[in-house]
A and B are shown apart, each in its own frame.
Chain A
């Protein structure tokens, strides 16, 4: 069957539409697709710089082999990255959702608390966080983690001695508290996206559920949560990217160190392997969700 060509007005409109997105298409080709293909090429080749030219020679799997078998830290770093992801990801989603649910309500001091929680968005740069939460620990104690500031904030050990519990437990508490701290500092944008998603849910739905006699709990699971499904996917995608590319991620930071000493080929190979693994794992988690989501996007 022949496809019907759209009528005159529709065609004109579609041309206007194309006009609006032409810069984006050009940008995608020049600054996204081509660099992506290039970087895949670099992963399999050797890059040398000569005056006025970049010489790229194909070397097969050499870089890949180096990253996988010779680099002593890579595998460890990947495992570390995934273990951080495994506990941070659900925590970030839950914390930001709870924060959003609280902050959309009407209560006294709402503006104040919102201002504070959005402050994490403003300051959430890897650099400052790293310095404030981690760096100072390196000098004062030799622990070198954010433990030192946590110890300052809540003195776990003194609480434990008051309660009469053995001090070994304090280590576990310390770890938990540390992760809570990082999680809260990393969930600013997610909270923001959730708030704007919650605001968009029509009030009628809540009125209906009230009339039908739903409890708050049921209301959350049958009204709020389904209406948030798409924003949830966006937030998850954002969180995954953030977690794996943050300045504290070891693979990324080591690749960056390599890049700065113009070791381009091995660092690209490293990043490709890393993000391929990440992509596979994440899409395995998301296959059921993804289909449903892509269908609903348009």
Chain B
């Protein structure tokens, strides 16, 4: 009997201890991962604030004795920070907003209606997700240098003997046009997220609206969209982040008004133009400062949106 009681007691304590052990295990994993994520960021910030001599001084670990703004100044000068930031905002961010809006329209059409050719369209959506944008970037660039729609403008131009095809490279149009037609930067995934959300939304309200004589466009604007703030925020954040970090499209489409990501990528070379050669410690530090400058705007925006975004992720519900 006593043995049995003892056994039961051990079992009970084991049951009590188990969640605690699990909690510790979880905490260890999370802390390790947080360490891996935060360390490079802190490293970046701390070295951006150091002078070249402090960077090489082994006694200075994290916080330099003298903070210096020199690296930031040099990085800003080399990156053309103001102009680059302006082009990022003008080209990329507005394009992200457009994409967020148009992808919702497309996804609503795909999720709510039956029409001939829908299966083909879904297949194209998968292709759009799978085919990397690098595959089509060259024809897109060539097309944008002489904007044409299936050769129509060339034909008309040939008849009236005038060049009608505008060169829209290095303008905002080459970012806006694909976004307007919801085939912009990673639109496939945005459409997919919206599609999953709309498919999970109860149909009844919209059907009631239809019976009451509201046309689908109005139903979409007044019923579907207001109840899908979760999906909108998720897509908006992702799209903004992708556009902000976009390098591949921007480097091909722009030749003068470089967005931030492109300026940052060429920062080591740009620094050497103002006399800080690669191999010089100051070049490394300048690049670190450039990274900080690049990350800060979007990080600040994220910190404001974080709670909203974290909650949205919970509720956007991409189901199987």
User: Which positions in A face B, CB cutoff 8 Å?
Assistant: 10, 13-21, 23-36, 38-39, 42, 47, 52-54, 98-99, 102, 105, 107, 111, 113-128, 131-133, 135-136, 139-140, 149, 152-153, 180-181, 184-185, 189, 192-193, 195-197, 199-201, 226-231, 234, 237-238, 240-241, 244-245, 247, 252, 255-256, 259-260, 264, 267-268, 271-272, 275, 296-298
Given A126-B247, A199-B314, output 4 extra A-B contacts at Cβ < 8 Å: A14-B114, A17-B109, A199-B317, A227-B320
A24 with B181: CB separation less than 8 A: yes
User: Which positions in B face A, CB cutoff 8 Å?
Assistant: 23, 26, 29-30, 33-41, 43-44, 47, 102, 105-106, 108-110, 112-116, 118-119, 121-122, 124, 126-140, 142-143, 145-146, 149-150, 163, 177-178, 180-183, 189, 191-192, 200, 215-217, 220, 234, 238, 241, 244-245, 247-248, 251-252, 261, 264-265, 267-268, 278-279, 281, 283-284, 287-288, 290-291, 294-295, 298-299, 302, 306-307, 309-310, 313-320
Q: Which of B142, B178, B180 is the most central at the interface, judged by chain A CB atoms within 10 Å of its CB?
A: B142
Residues of chain A within 8 A (CB-CB) of B180 are 23, 27
Q: Which of B124, B126, B281, B295 contacts A128 (CB 8 A)?
A: B295
Min CB distance A10 to B, Å, is: 8
Q: What are 22 A-B pairs at a CB distance below 8 A?
A: A17-B114, A17-B115, A24-B183, A27-B183, A28-B124, A28-B183, A31-B183, A119-B37, A120-B37, A123-B295, A125-B244, A127-B245, A136-B287, A196-B313, A196-B316, A197-B317, A200-B200, A200-B317, A228-B320, A230-B319, A245-B132, A259-B138
- In the bound complex, what is the Cα–Cα distance between A42 and B142 (angstroms)? 11
> Which residue of B is nearest A41, CB measured?
B139
B251 with A131: CB separation less than 8 A: no
A38 with B139: CB separation less than 8 A: yes
Min CB distance A111 to B, Å, is: 6
A17 with B37: CB separation less than 8 A: no
B37 with A238: CB separation less than 8 A: no
- Given known pairs A17-B113, A229-B320, A297-B122, the reply for A39 and B139 (CB within 8 Å) is yes
B288 with A136: CB separation less than 8 A: yes
- In the bound complex, what is the Cα–Cα distance between A127 and B266 (angstroms)? 10
- In the bound complex, what is the Cα–Cα distance between A14 and B142 (angstroms)? 36
B283 with A139: CB separation less than 8 A: yes
- In the bound complex, what is the Cα–Cα distance between A42 and B124 (angstroms)? 22
B298 with A122: CB separation less than 8 A: yes
A31 with B140: CB separation less than 8 A: yes
> Which residue of B is nearest A99, CB measured?
B33
- In the bound complex, what is the Cα–Cα distance between A116 and B310 (angstroms)? 11
Min CB distance B66 to A, Å, is: 21
> Which residue of B is nearest A23, CB measured?
B181
A118 with B309: CB separation less than 8 A: yes
- In the bound complex, what is the Cα–Cα distance between A200 and B320 (angstroms)? 9
- Given known pairs A52-B163, A200-B319, the reply for A21 and B110 (CB within 8 Å) is yes
- In the bound complex, what is the Cα–Cα distance between A260 and B134 (angstroms)? 13
A16 with B215: CB separation less than 8 A: yes
B37 with A153: CB separation less than 8 A: no
Residues of chain A within 8 A (CB-CB) of B248 are 245, 256
> Which residue of A is nearest B306, CB measured?
A115
- Given known pairs A35-B140, A149-B43, A297-B122, the reply for A127 and B319 (CB within 8 Å) is no
- Given known pairs A17-B112, A24-B181, A121-B241, the reply for A113 and B30 (CB within 8 Å) is yes
- In the bound complex, what is the Cα–Cα distance between A221 and B251 (angstroms)? 45
A268 with B138: CB separation less than 8 A: yes
Residues of chain B within 8 A (CB-CB) of A127 are 245, 247, 261, 264-265, 294
A189 with B139: CB separation less than 8 A: no
Residues of chain B within 8 A (CB-CB) of A17 are 109, 112-115, 118, 216
B150 with A30: CB separation less than 8 A: yes
Residues of chain A within 8 A (CB-CB) of B110 are 20-21
Residues of chain A within 8 A (CB-CB) of B265 are 127
